[in-house]
Amino acid sequence: MSALLGSISTLSLARWQFGITTVFHFLFVPLTIGLGLLVAILQTASFRTGDESWERATRFFGKLFLVNFAIGVVTGIVQEFQFGMDWSRYSVFVGNIFGAPLAIEGLLAFFMESTFLGVWIFGRGRVSPRVHLLAIWLASFGTILSAAFILAANAWMQHPVGYAIDPATHQAVMNNFWAVMTNSTFVLEYGHVLFAALLTGSTFLLGVSAWHLRQGHDTAAFAKAARVAIVVVLVSAVGTIFLGDSQAKQMETQQPMKMAAAEALYNTTSGASFSLLTIGDLAGNPIFQVRVPHILSVLATNTWSGRVEGIHQLQAQATKKYGAGSYVPVIWVLYWTFRIMVGLGVLLLALGAVGLWLMRKRRLERSTWFLRFATWMILAPFLANSVGWIFTEIGRQPWVVYGLLKTSNAVSLIAPGYVATSLIGFTAIYTLLAVVEIGLMVRLAKVPSEPIAADDRAPELIY
C-alpha cells in the first residue's frame, strides 16, 4: 500500500477528496435552498386560497425536498470536518477569520433550519396552520442564511479583506468583521449563488410538473406549480446571469489570471474577442474556433476596446510579486467549465422565456415538446452549479487564500495513506448514496400527488 502510494502526494489526494466531496455536497444544497423557498411559496398559496390543489403540490414537492435535504445535511458535516482533517495548516492560518462565519452559521442558520423543519415535518395538525406555515418559512430562511456565512468565508479566500498578518504566529487575524461580511466579492457571489439555487429549485419544480402534465396526473396542481416555476426560472436566470456578468468584471480586477485562463488569452489584448468554442489545443493553435469580436473586453471591462491582461504578462507580474513558481491554473478546465456554465445559463433563460410565452398563449399544458424539454432541463442547473464551482476554485490556484497562502502549504502534514483511505471511503459511500438517493427521488417524483384526507393531521408515526 505505502509503496504504491509513494508517488502520490497527500496534497493531490486531499485536493481530489475536497473536490469530490464538495461537488457532491453542492449537488444537493442548491436544490434545498431553492426548493425550500418554493415549497414555502406553494404552501402560502394554499394557506391564502384554501385551494386543495395548492396543498397537494405543497405536499408532493415537500416530500422531495425532505429526501434531498437529508443528504445535504449529512454531507455537510464532512465539509466542516475536513478543513481540519486534510487542511490543518490552512485551518491554523485562517481560523481567526474563516472559523467565525462557520460558527455563526451553526448558531444562526443551522439551528433554525433543522429545528423548524422538524416542526414542519411533524407539526401538521399539532401546531396551528399559521405556525406550520411559519415553520417552513423559517426553515427556508435558515437555508438562505446559511449560504451567506459559508460564502462570506469562501469570498474571503477569493479576496481577503479585513485582516492583518500576525508577525509572531504568521496567522491571518481579523481586524474588521464588518469588512469580511461586506466584502465586494461576497456580495456578488452570494447573489449569484442564491439566484442559481432558486434557478435549480424552479427548474426542478418545472421539470417534474411537466412530466406529470404529460402523464395527465392531477393537472390542477401541477399546472399551478409549473406556472410558479416558469416565472421563477425566468427571474432567477436573469438574476444569475446579470450577477455572473458583474462577477466577471470584478474578477478582471481582483483575479485577472482567472479571467485570462477562462479565455486562454495568452497575451494582453485590447478589444479582445471571445471564443465560443475551440477544437484543437488552447495554446494558440486551434484547429477550429468560433470567435465573437470584442466580447471578452465587454465581458471583462464593460468597454468595447478595453484591455484584458494575458496569461504571460500576469505570470511575469506574479513572479515579481510572489517569487518563482507557476501562477497559471489548469487552463483547459477553466476554459470549458466557464463555457458550459454560461451556455447552460443561457439555455435556462430560454427555458423560462419560452415557458412564459406558452403560458401567455395558454398552450403550456398541451405543448408536449416543451414539457419533454423542461423535464430534461432538470439536469442543467446541477451541471452548471458544479462547473461553476470547479471554475472558481480551480481558477484561484495555486492559491488557497488568494495572494496569501498556497494550496501546497495548506495541506495537513499526514501520511498519504490516511487520505487515500478516506478518499476511497468517501467516494464509495457517496457513490452508494447517489445511487440510493437518485433512485428514490426518481421513484417519488413519478408517484402522482395524493388527495388530502378529511382528517388532515400528520399521522401518529411519520418516520
Partner 1 sequence: MLALLATSPSGLEKLWFALIGVLWLGYFFLEGFDFGVGVLMPFVSHDDVDRRVVVNTIGPVWDGNEVWLITAGGATFAAFPLWYATVFSGFYLALFVLLAALIFRGMAFELRHRRDDDRWRRWWDRALFWGSALPALLWGVAFADFVHGVPIVAGGEWTGTFFDLVKPYALLGGLATLSLFTLHGATYLGLKADGPVRERAREVARWLAPTTTVVVTAFLGWTYLSAHAWHHTGLVPPLLPILGVGALAAVGWLVHDRLEGWAFIATAFVVVAFFTTLLLNLYPNVLVSSVRSSYDITVAASASHPYTLTVMSWVALVFTPFVLLYQGWTYWVFKKRVSRPESVETRSSEV
22-41 positions binding partner 1, by CB under 8 A? none
- Considering CB under 8 A, how many residues would be counted as binding partner 1? 83
Nearer to partner 1, 70 or 277 (CB): 70
Contacts of 329 (CB under 8 A, 6+ apart): 257, 258, 261, 394, 395, 396, 397, 398
Maximum C-alpha span of the chain: 74
Among 71-79, 216-224, 240-248, 388-396, the segment contacting partner 1 (CB under 8 A):
71-79
129-188 positions binding partner 1, by CB under 8 A? 166, 168-169, 171, 173-175, 177
Q: How far is the CB of 223 from partner 1 (least distance, A)?
A: 23
Residue 400 found at the interface with partner 1 (CB under 8 A): no
Among 31-39, 83-91, 182-190, 212-220, the segment contacting partner 1 (CB under 8 A):
83-91
Q: Between helices 331-360 and 184-215, what is the axis angle to 10°?
A: 50
Instruction: Decide: 75 and 24 in contact? Cβ < 8 Å.
Output: yes
Integer angstrom CA distances of residue 282 from 105, 184, 252, 261, 310: 41, 32, 20, 10, 13
299-358 positions binding partner 1, by CB under 8 A? none
DSSP summary character for residue 98: I
Residue 88 found at the interface with partner 1 (CB under 8 A): yes
211-230 positions binding partner 1, by CB under 8 A? none
Q: Which cell is 99 given?
A: 472559523
Residue of 9, 12, 44, 96 that binds partner 1 (CB under 8 A): 96
Beta-sheet strands, E only, within 13-65: none
Nearer to partner 1, 67 or 350 (CB): 67
Residue of 35, 38, 94, 272 that binds partner 1 (CB under 8 A): 94
Q: Between helices 52-86 and 416-446, what is the axis angle to 10°?
A: 180
Residue of 95, 129, 403, 448 that binds partner 1 (CB under 8 A): 95
Q: How far is the CB of 33 from partner 1 (least distance, A)?
A: 17
Residue 290 found at the interface with partner 1 (CB under 8 A): no
358-387 positions binding partner 1, by CB under 8 A? none
Q: How far is the CB of 446 from partner 1 (least distance, A)?
A: 9
Nearer to partner 1, 108 or 354 (CB): 108
Cell 415538446, located at residue = 369
111-130 positions binding partner 1, by CB under 8 A? 111-112, 114-119, 121-123, 126-127
| Closest to 116 in 3D by CA, of 49, 66, 78, 152 | 66
Instruction: Decide: 416 and 10 in contact? Cβ < 8 Å.
Output: yes
Instruction: Decide: 160 and 225 in contact? Cβ < 8 Å.
Output: no
